[in-house]
Structure 1
Amino acid sequence: MSYAKPLTPSYLPPQLPGLLLASGLALFAWWLAQQPLLQGAQLSALTVAIVIGMLIGNFAGSRLPASTGVGIALAQRQLLRLGVVLYGLRLSFQDVAAIGTTGLLLDLIIVASTLGLGTWVGRRWLGLDRDTALLTAAGSAICGAAAVLAVERVIRPDSSKVAMAVASVVLFGTLNIFLYPQLYPYLGLDAAAFGLYTGATVHEVAQVVAVGSAIGPETADAAVVVKLTRVLMLVPVLFLLGWRESRKGGGHGIVIPWFAIGFLAMVAVNSLVPVPAALKSMLLSLDTLLLATAMAALGLGTRFAKLRALGPKPLLLAAVLFLWLSIGGYALVRWLH
């Protein structure tokens, strides 16, 4: 990522210009995501932020002051970790208990099978590199863009691979918003079972809410709880990846994703401590802003030429996983429920 000469006074913190740029783009993305057109499509602030960041990075990146580079790097790393930690406030252990054995088993099978299928198809059939296959599989298996970003902090791939994985899972997750409500009358599932199906197979939390709400409250409630339990499985996945990274590096120390421990700690706080509603709402809004800032920073460092170099195969992998989640997930729900 190349920038113009620095224009920032030396007495300012070196991270400030880049942080102001990334957070300003995030706030703009947040505002855009709340407008009727984008809100109807359930495009989150995270998705909008990376698109805006990529547009500015590609068309005006060479004219950005060099002083923004330090803050942009900080947003891509530390702010992202903090955002993943606060994401844990969306879930409680009571939620996990509420879905019962069936819901928990469904989530376990979906996450494990999607990760396994995605890495196998991506590498063996499509010839993708490990990072691209793993990022796309994680986004499909767990929680869309948030999972891609969390995995990125463990395996540290090129930013273009992260952007491609985010784009592919957002595309097919958005397709679910329109497809699932149309399929509902023909699947032979009651409202609660369709909630299980939605929560276990739709990519993003916001997309799950959109699909569930289109059917009814019972579906929406079941879908959100199953989805959030699926999000909790991000923690063991990150630790497994950290262990694999340590082995790949010759066994010199275990790569411990400390932010995953923070995520679990926030789940525990949300489960055991009566957090005031106003404070929780404020922290969740801060979480959205932090993740959107990280996405904007990621977009600023991503070049279209690198995305083109990756070719159509990552998108094809996301399509294969979309079919697996839609068809295989339905078969699993019919079998378990």
Structure 2
Amino acid sequence: MTTLSLTTLSAGSRTLFPGVLACVVVAVASTFLSQHYGAPVMLFALILGMAMNFLSGDGPCKPGIEFTARQVLRWGVALLGLRITIGQVAELGWHPVLLVVVSMVLTIGLSMVVAKLLGFNTLFGLLSGGATAICGASAALALAAALPAHPQKERATLFTVVGVSVLSTTAMIVYPMIARALGLSEHGAGIFLGATIHDVAQVVGAGYGMSKDIGDIATVVKLMRVAMLLPVILFAVMCTRALGKGTSGPRPPLLPGFAIGFAVLVALNSTGWLPEVVTTAGSDFSRWALVSAIAAIGMKTQVRELAAVGLKPVLFMIGETVFLAVLALVLLRWAS
């Protein structure tokens, strides 16, 4: 029995290996380009993945690419929990927590309403609104993993990742100038940057580009937003059930396994029992898993499908980003 299981496992690994290796190679190349040219690594992974789209056709790489886009993605999201502790959130006090929660709820809620008014699928509003309000590409991938299969889901996910990556890079340059022009204090500037820029890397770049104190505050506020992944994933699954999506197949669990893993790792990391080498290794693996997964999604996407999206979704995502920034500034003024 054991010999049979090992043989089956070995055969499965051989089937997956070519595709997984292709995704990892793209992830390594994307990381190299990002480190040398300063653009978001997710954007490079998407572009290179789309350039290697031919690998996702019928052939030896297809199973591994499918596995990376689905299962490796879930591992990466779960391991994001090693970046956060409950203590980090508590140290900031209730004002930033309230600002993050209100911004997230209003941004996602308005995105879903506007998406429906514009004729989009309501869940696209949830996907793009969650990416804008929480943590950019990582949130888009996490929410996509929690939503049921849909013919347009991968194209919507890819478009959302491209959009938030470009907008996050733009915000990294523009938002520090806004903070200075408005005369925000270091505390206020840190909260503003951490509460509005989409991706963690861009928050770090913008914050520490202004000062160390601003960078520290911005990073913790950003991680607080990452912690909002769990309730939003739960909300996404409940929305899916309420809207009757995906009823043709088995209903998704109320809380997916990777979301439970995320919560458990946040709790474990908060105890201080985990050695730093474990949290660092887990966080690094999470990053590699997410970059590899987005490369796989890029490989599975037809460029002509992405080009057919049109201008309306682009303006929609820009509107979400502007709304979040203005809302955060208003709430900052109100809290002060």
TM-score by length of 2: 0.90
Distance in 2 (CA, whole Å) between partners of 1:220 and 1:12 is: 42
Q: How does 1:36-51 map to 2 (within 5 A)?
A: 37-38=37-38, 41=39, 43=40, 45-51=41-47
Residue 306 (structure 1) shift: 1.0
Distance in 2 (CA, whole Å) between partners of 1:65 and 1:236 is: 38
Match of 1:215 among 210, 214, 218: 210
Residue in structure 2 matched with residue 109 of structure 1 by the alignment: 102
* Alignment of 1:235 onto 2:230: yes
Match of 1:134 among 126, 130, 142: 126
How has the CA–CA distance of structure 1 residues 120 and 272 changed in structure 2, closer, same or farther, with 3 Å as cutoff?
same
Residue in structure 1 matched with residue 299 of structure 2 by the alignment: 300
Distance in 1 (CA, whole Å) between partners of 2:238 and 2:327 is: 29
Distance in 1 (CA, whole Å) between partners of 2:138 and 2:182 is: 29
Deviations 1:73-123 (A, max 9, x none): 110111000000111111100011011110110010111011011111222
Residue in structure 2 matched with residue 24 of structure 1 by the alignment: 25
Residue 61 (structure 1) shift: 4.4
Residue in structure 2 matched with residue 5 of structure 1 by the alignment: none
Distance in 2 (CA, whole Å) between partners of 1:185 and 1:252 is: 49
Residue in structure 2 matched with residue 84 of structure 1 by the alignment: 77
Does structure 2 retain, via aligned residues, the 8 Å contact 1:133–1:314? no
Residue in structure 1 matched with residue 4 of structure 2 by the alignment: none
Residue 48 (structure 1) shift: 1.6
* Alignment of 1:260 onto 2:259: yes
Q: How many residues align?
A: 319
Deviations 1:260-301 (A, max 9, x none): 111111111111133323332222211111111101100000
Residue in structure 2 matched with residue 312 of structure 1 by the alignment: 311
Q: How does 1:1-337 map to 2 (within 5 A)?
A: 13-35=14-36, 37-38=37-38, 41=39, 43=40, 45-57=41-53, 60-61=54-55, 66-124=59-117, 126-155=118-147, 156-157=149-150, 158-247=153-242, 248=244, 254-337=253-336
Residue 312 (structure 1) shift: 1.5
In terms of mean alpha carbon deviation, does 146-155 or 176-185 score higher? 176-185
Q: Give the residue type in structure 1 aligned to 2:159.
A: M
Deviations 1:47-89 (A, max 9, x none): 32121101221xx448x66121111111011100000011111
Q: Give the residue type in structure 1 aligned to 2:324.
A: L
Q: Give the residue type in structure 1 aligned to 2:18.
A: P
Deviations 1:131-159 (A, max 9, x none): 33222111101100000000101213431
Residue 184 (structure 1) shift: 2.2
Distance in 2 (CA, whole Å) between partners of 1:123 and 1:140 is: 17
Which consecutive residues of structure 1, in runs of 5 or more, have no partner in the other structure? Answer: 1-9
Does structure 1 retain, via aligned residues, the 8 Å contact 2:23–2:293? yes
Distance in 2 (CA, whole Å) between partners of 1:186 and 1:244 is: 40
Q: Give the residue type in structure 2 aligned to 1:79.
A: V
How has the CA–CA distance of structure 1 residues 282 and 14 changed in structure 2, closer, same or farther, with 3 Å as cutoff?
same
Distance in 1 (CA, whole Å) between partners of 2:251 and 2:18 is: 36
Distance in 1 (CA, whole Å) between partners of 2:253 and 2:58 is: 37
Q: Give the residue type in structure 2 aligned to 1:330.
A: L
Q: Give the residue type in structure 2 aligned to 1:56.
A: M
Report the aligned-residue RMSD. 1.9
Distance in 2 (CA, whole Å) between partners of 1:138 and 1:327 is: 17
Percent identity between matched residues is: 32
How has the CA–CA distance of structure 1 residues 12 and 336 changed in structure 2, closer, same or farther, with 3 Å as cutoff?
closer
Q: Give the residue type in structure 1 aligned to 2:137.
A: A
Residue 253 (structure 1) shift: 7.0
Does structure 1 retain, via aligned residues, the 8 Å contact 2:42–2:291? yes
- 4+ residue runs over 4 A deviation: 249-254
Secondary structure of residue in 2 paired with 1:310: coil
In terms of mean alpha carbon deviation, does 214-223 or 83-92 score higher? 214-223
Residue 252 (structure 1) shift: 5.8
Q: Give the residue type in structure 1 aligned to 2:205.
A: A
Deviations 1:5-57 (A, max 9, x none): xxxxx89621111111111111211222211x22xx4x1x3232121101221
Secondary structure of residue in 2 paired with 1:14: helix
Does structure 2 retain, via aligned residues, the 8 Å contact 1:212–1:220? yes
